[in-house]
């Protein structure tokens, strides 16, 4: 269960897929939620149903992210968890990086777990994308490694959540600037098939278990 001080969780792409699943799980656990999406009608209804704060943001637009981040940093100066699940293909990669860098000041001030959790684009999307490499999971992970390097020495942990195998990995800084960074598998019950990715994400705020090296 989440601690009584209600960790503050921000989720992009909250109206569908794993973003929506995460919002429902954290709402049930009593977290304070900030949800964002480009579908304003769905966002309004979904946010109201969960008692969450809903704000429009197009993560593919630098201007939209700048406006959104300015409001969030002013109203919510501390964040405990950011889940980046908005967009598809290269927009997922670009949006993840923009949102992460814009909101890192609030995440560093969080009082619970200071987790930056990024959901990569589907591998199939890279094959049909306008920018195949930018839409690839390799490019996504390298940018996550850059964020890990930027937050080195702080309490922020950079994680990747894989929808293909429901695993969570903690990304280490990319020391070689060109090779995919090392990662540690931190998924709970990784070998017994218990729960999907959203359930594993929800369990991040449960008492810690031993971190295992990814095979």
Span 55-104, pLDDT tens digits:
999 999 999 999 999 999 999 999 999 999 999 888 999 999 999 999 99
Q: What whole-number distance in Å separates Cα of residue 152 and Cα of residue 174?
A: 11
Residues 6+ apart with CB under 8 A from 207: none
Is residue 212 scored above 60 in pLDDT? Answer: no
C-alpha 207 chain-centroid distance: 20
Across-strand partners of 49?
Answer: none
C-beta atoms surrounding 30 within 10 Å: 13
Which range, of 14-18, 139-143, 193-197, averages the lowest pLDDT? 193-197
Compute, in degrees rounded to 10, the torsion defined by CA atoms 138, 140, 146, 150. -150
Q: How confident is the model at residue 135 (pLDDT cuts 50, 70, 90)?
A: confident
For 111-132, how does the pLDDT look when each residue is reduced to its tens digit (9 = 90+)? Answer: 878 999 999 988 776 566 677 7
The ranges assigned to domains in the chain are 8-205
Give the residue with greater pLDDT, 166 vs 104: 104
The token pair that represents 178 in the structure block: 């060109």
Q: What is the CATH number of domain 8-205?
A: 3.40.50.720
């Amino acid at each position: 269960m989440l601690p009584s001080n209600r960790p503050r969780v921000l989720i992009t792409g909250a109206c569908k897929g794993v973003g929506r699943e995460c919002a429902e799980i954290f709402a049930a656990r009593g977290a304070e939620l900030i949800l964002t999406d480009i579908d304003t009608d769905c966002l309004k209804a979904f946010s109201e149903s969960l008692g969450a704060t809903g704000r429009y943001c197009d993560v593919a637009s630098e201007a939209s992210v700048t406006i959104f981040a300015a409001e969030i940093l002013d109203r919510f100066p501390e964040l405990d968890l950011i889940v980046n699940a908005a967009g598809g293909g290269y927009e997922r990669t670009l949006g993840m990086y923009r949102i992460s860098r814009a909101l890192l000041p609030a995440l560093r001030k969080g009082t619970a777990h200071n987790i930056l959790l990024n959901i990569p684009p589907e591998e199939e999307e890279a094959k049909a994308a306008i920018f195949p490499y930018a839409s690839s999971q390799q490019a996504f992970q390298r940018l996550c490694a850059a964020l890990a390097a930027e937050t080195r020495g702080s309490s922020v942990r950079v994680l990747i959540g894989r929808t293909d195998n429901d695993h969570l990995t903690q990304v280490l800084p990319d020391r070689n600037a060109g090779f995919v960074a090392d990662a540690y598998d931190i998924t709970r019950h990784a070998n017994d098939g218990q729960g999907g990715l959203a359930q594993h994400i929800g369990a991040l705020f449960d008492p810690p278990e031993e971190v295992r090296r990814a095979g």
